[in-house]
Amino acid sequence: MNILVYLEERNGRIRKPSLEAISAAHALGGTVHAAVIGAEANALVEQAKTLNVQTVFAASDARLAKYSSRATARALAEIAKQANAEVVLVGATGRGKDLAPRAAIRLEAGYVPDVTAFTNSNGDIVATHPVYAGKAQMSVRVTTPVKVFSTRPNLWKPSKDAAASTPAVQNVSVSFQDTDFSEHTTALTLSQGKLDVAEADIIVSGGRGMRGPEHWTLIENLAEAFGAATGASRAVVDAGWRPHAEQVGQTGKTVSPTLYVAIGISGAVQHLAGMSSSKTIVAINKDENAPIFSIADYGLVGDAFEVLPALTEEIKKLRSH
């Protein structure tokens, strides 16, 4: 079975969710190939050649200097045909979740979004993804010959090994149409410095229990001790204490970090939807009946204000070893 993995680029580097998709591809079982699509695919092709794939398929066009989802989708579908791919995997990033269903339509393929697990029984592939804001999960079988999936970031390990032998490079010629570029990116504005909640391995998140924005240094200090990003519940974002970019939850970001620390957050269903697939969850809350404790691996019941400074010191000590 040929599996094609799309490699998404940002600032000249292949993004982690694409490396995770390569791991997912190997776990699924089959021959794994990579697709690189861009204006000058060469730099990315060189990076792709260091990955554990058999062939790097590359499509390039000067007009792709500005990202265009329609053009990229056309190229990805064309590459999938050339690679004779039965499965196409795309990391479920903002771009990926738009690109994957487009490729699916072009390939007349069934699509499952935001996959958290696969099973493969002699070629019968079933993909699981969260539904109802994470309260349930749905297992889906794609019934078309070609199958497209987007894989949820931060679940599979990013694949960093090289292949047994250097991948071959195959250039694919794509007949782009002018209308493919009728929608294109003109700017990508990234917040400088701050680690984004969606990419962080550890998140320290605060809710109404923090009583006011003036107390957020407690959260920030603990985050710094952990080397973590800071997150927030919807309540404090709506109250204007924290920016929407930090919001974790159904109407904010969905995250699956290695560690999620929820401080002064009660654990409303909509918040849980955004973080329940975190590998380890810690909750600190005054209320022992707060719903957050039901999904916590570790928790402290009591006043966050009392314990945060002490906890920050403990974490600093541990991490300085």
Partner 1 sequence: MDPAGVKFILNPYDEFAVEEALRLRDKFKGEVTAISVGADNAKEAIRQALAMGADKGILVKGDKSDSFQVADMLAAAIKPLSPDLILLGKQSIDFDGMEIASMLSELLDLPAATVAVALNIEGNKATVEKEVEGGRETIQLDMPCIVAAQKGLNEPRYPSLPNIMKAKQKPIQEVSGAPGAKRTEIVEMTKPEKKRANKIVKIDGNASQAAHELARMLHEEAKII
Binding residues for partner 1 restricted to 81-110, rule: CB under 8 A: 93-95, 97-102, 104-106, 108-110
Contact between 224 and partner 1 by CB under 8 A: the answer reads no
In the complex, the smallest distance separating the C-beta of residue 50 from partner 1, rounded to whole angstroms, is 23
In the complex, the smallest distance separating the C-beta of residue 196 from partner 1, rounded to whole angstroms, is 4
Contact between 301 and partner 1 by CB under 8 A: the answer reads yes
Contact between 157 and partner 1 by CB under 8 A: the answer reads no
Is the CB of 52 or the CB of 277 nearer to partner 1? 277
Among 14, 259, 263, 265, the residue binding partner 1 under the rule CB under 8 A is: 259
Contact between 140 and partner 1 by CB under 8 A: the answer reads yes
How many residues form the binding site for partner 1 (CB under 8 A)?
Answer: 91
Query: 129 — phi, psi (to 5°)?
Result: -145, 155
| 8 Å CB contact between 157 and 258 | no
In the complex, the smallest distance separating the C-beta of residue 182 from partner 1, rounded to whole angstroms, is 4
Question: Of 33-41, 43-51, 205-213, 272-280, which segment contacts partner 1 by CB under 8 A?
Answer: 272-280
Enter the DSSP assignment of 134.
G
Rg (CA), the chain: 21
Query: 200 — phi, psi (to 5°)?
Result: -75, 150
- The HSE-up count of residue 237 (CA atoms within 13 Å, CB side) is 18
Among 121, 122, 175, 189, the residue binding partner 1 under the rule CB under 8 A is: 189
- Give the integer Cα–Cα distance in Å for 76 and 53: 16
Instruction: Locate the DSSP E strands across 192-288.
Output: 202-206, 229-232, 259-263, 280-285
Contact between 218 and partner 1 by CB under 8 A: the answer reads no
Q: Which of 201, 200, 215 is nearest to 264 (CA)?
A: 215
In the complex, the smallest distance separating the C-beta of residue 273 from partner 1, rounded to whole angstroms, is 9
Enter the DSSP assignment of 86.
S
Site for partner 1 in 49-78 (CB under 8 A): 67, 69-70, 73
Is the CB of 120 or the CB of 250 nearer to partner 1? 250
One symbol per residue from 112 to 131: x for binding partner 1 (CB under 8 A), - otherwise; what is it?
xxx-----------x--xxx
In the complex, the smallest distance separating the C-beta of residue 185 from partner 1, rounded to whole angstroms, is 5
| 8 Å CB contact between 118 and 142 | no
Is the CB of 38 or the CB of 167 nearer to partner 1? 38
Cβ contacts of residue 175 below 8 Å, gap of 6+? none
Contact between 42 and partner 1 by CB under 8 A: the answer reads no
Q: Which of 176, 125, 173 is nearest to 151 (CA)?
A: 125
Contact between 111 and partner 1 by CB under 8 A: the answer reads yes
Question: Over 271-282, what HEC string results?
Answer: HHHHHCCCCEEE
> Residue 13, Cβ neighbours under 10 Å: how many?
12
In the complex, the smallest distance separating the C-beta of residue 241 from partner 1, rounded to whole angstroms, is 16
Cβ contacts of residue 242 below 8 Å, gap of 6+? 206, 213, 216, 230, 232, 236
Is the CB of 207 or the CB of 299 nearer to partner 1? 299
Among 54, 251, 268, 291, the residue binding partner 1 under the rule CB under 8 A is: 251
Question: Of 25-33, 55-63, 158-166, 244-252, which segment contacts partner 1 by CB under 8 A?
Answer: 244-252
- Give the integer Cα–Cα distance in Å for 137 and 5: 24
